[in-house]
Chain A
C-alpha cells in the first residue's frame, strides 16, 4: 500500500464518491423518485396493463434460457480454454470477448442477416422445418446468449487456472472417470465463480435492449420485453409507467448484486 498524506486521502475519496454519485447514484435515485412521484399509482397503472405483465414474463423466460445455456457452454468453454491445448485457442479466447466490444444493435443485425426467413443463410431452411428464429423466442434467446456470452467464461477461467489440475489428476488416479471428476471435483471447486457468472449473466440478460429490439421485432404483447416496454411507454408519454418498470428492473439488478456480495465472503472463508 502506498501511504498518502491525510488531506490527499480525503481528496481522493471525495473525487471517487462524487464520480460514482454523479454517474450512478443520482440518476438512479431520481429514477426512483419519479417512479414513486404519485405514490404507487404508476405501478398500479403499469401492472394493470397486460402487455407490461406479458413483457416481464417474456424477459424472465428469455433470461432464464440464456442463463441456462450460457452456464453450460460457459463452463464447457472455460474448461476447454484452460485444460486443453488446441490450434486456434487464442482466436477462440478473443472471439468469446467479442460480445463485450461489439454494440448489441450490431449483434441483432448480424443475427437478422443470418436467420431471417426470407433472405438469411439458414432462415428459409429453418422456417421450412417450422422453426421461426427471427421475431420469435429462439432468436431472442440467441441474441441474449450472444451479449452475455463472456460473463460465465471470464469468471470461471481464472479460478480454473488458479486451482490447477492436480485435484483432477488425483481423482483420475483414484478411479474417477471424466464425468465423475467433473461432478465431484471440478464443479465444487469452481462453484462460486459459476454462481457469480450466472448472476452477472442474469442481470445482463434482463436488461438487454439493442439486440432484442431488432431480433424480437418489438411486437407488443408477443415478443416485447420489459426494457422495450420502458422505451415504448416513455415515447408514448406514459413516463410514470416507464419509470415504474425501470425501477423494477433496477431493483432486480441490485438484488442480484446484493446476492453476489453476500455469497462472496462465504467463498473466502470456506
Chain B
C-alpha cells in the first residue's frame, strides 16, 4: 500500500474533524475521498501532505513513517482548489519552482518544464503570467508544477471545485487520461459523487470525521454499506420495507408481478429523456419512480392513473430505517 493512515485523530477546538481514521490507499491508483463539506476529507488530505498535523495517529508513505516529516521533505505533490499559483512568476517559472529549489541543472529544468507543459497542453503559454490564463488552464499549470518534482503521491484538494460545470467535466476526463499516462498514486478530494464515480478507481466515503465505506465505484453503488452512502451516491426512495434507487423500480399497468404494490400517479415531470413520477401507495406513502420517456409513452402514463410498482430484480437495496423504527 502506498499511503497507510492509522488511527488518525484531529480536532479544531471542540470540532472533531477526524475521529480515529484508518485507511490504506493503494499504489498507482486514483483514489477519491468523497463526502459532504466539513466531513473531514480535506483535513485528511492536508495531514497526508503535512500541511496539518494529526493530534494522534501515524501516516506512512511508501513504507516510510512520515508522521513527523516536514511537508517540504515528503515529496508529495499538492494541488489546491484555488490553484495557489505563484502570481509573480511566468507559467514556466511556476512549473520550474520545485526543480529550482532542488538545484537541478538549468538544462535539465528547461527540458522537464517543456515536457510537462506539453503534457498539460500549455506549451504556448510558457511565458505568460498566470493572471492571463483561464481557471482551467491555471489548474492544469498547478498540476504540472506538482508533477515536476516527480512526487511519490499526488494530492488534489477539490481540484475542479472553483471551475464552471463544462470545464470541470472536461478536466476530470483529462485527469483520468493523464493518470493513465503518468500512473502516479493520486488522491483527490471531492464532494461531487458523479466526479468521484467517473474518475476514481477507488472511493473512500468520509462523513462526520469517520470513514463510511471504502470500495470501487460499482461496489459503493451496488452494495452501499450504510444509509449515508446510499443517500450520498444518488437519489433514494422507499418502497415497502426497503430503500432503493427510483430508477430501480419497475412499472406495470396490471398487478401481474408477485409482490407488486398498487399506487396512483400523483405528479409526472418530464426532463429530457427522463420521466420522474411521484406515486402514492394505498398505505399513504409517496414513492419516487424514474423511467424513460419511451417506456412512459409505451405504458401511456398519465397523472391520476393507477399503476403497480415492484423493485427491479438485482436492485441495490438497504432496509428502510423508518420501518425498523416503527417495528
Residues of A within 8 A of B (CB): 163, 166-167, 169-177, 180, 184-185, 188-189, 270
Q: How far is the CB of A256 from chain B (nearest CB, A)?
A: 25
A189 to B131, CA, bound (A): 14
Contact, CB under 8 Å: A167 / B75: no
Q: How far is the CB of A195 from chain B (nearest CB, A)?
A: 14
Contact, CB under 8 Å: A174 / B80: no
Tell me if B297 counts as interface (CB < 8 A to partner A).
Answer: no
Contact, CB under 8 Å: A176 / B84: no
Tell me if B101 counts as interface (CB < 8 A to partner A).
Answer: yes
Nearest-neighbor residue (CB-CB) of B94 within chain A: A170
Chain A residues in 8 Å Cβ range of B102: 175
Selected contact of B149 from candidates A166, A169, A174, CB within 8 Å:
A174
Q: How many cross-chain pairs have Cβ atoms below 8 Å apart between A and B?
A: 63
Contact, CB under 8 Å: A174 / B87: no
Chain B residues in 8 Å Cβ range of A175: 72-73, 75, 98, 101-102, 149
Q: Which of A167, A177, A189 has the most CB of B within 10 A?
A: A167
Chain B interface, number of residues (Cβ within 8 angstroms): 29
Chain A residues in 8 Å Cβ range of B72: 172-177
Q: How far is the CB of B151 from chain A (nearest CB, A)?
A: 9
Tell me if B210 counts as interface (CB < 8 A to partner A).
Answer: no
Given A170-B145, A174-B77, A175-B73, output 5 extra A-B contacts at Cβ < 8 Å. A163-B87, A167-B86, A173-B50, A173-B51, A174-B146
Instruction: With A167-B87, A189-B87, A270-B88 as known contacts, state yes or no: A173 contacts B77, CB within 8 Å.
Output: yes
Q: Which of B52-95 contact A (CB under 8 A)?
A: 71-78, 80, 82-88
Q: How far is the CB of B115 from chain A (nearest CB, A)?
A: 17
Tell me if B97 counts as interface (CB < 8 A to partner A).
Answer: yes
Chain A residues in 8 Å Cβ range of B149: 174-175
Selected contact of B98 from candidates A174, A177, A185, CB within 8 Å:
A174
Q: How far is the CB of B30 from chain A (nearest CB, A)?
A: 19
A171 to B129, CA, bound (A): 17
Tell me if B229 counts as interface (CB < 8 A to partner A).
Answer: no
Q: How far is the CB of A194 from chain B (nearest CB, A)?
A: 14
Contact, CB under 8 Å: A173 / B97: no
Contact, CB under 8 Å: B51 / A172: yes
Instruction: With A175-B75, A176-B72 as known contacts, state yes or no: A169 contacts B101, CB within 8 Å.
Output: no
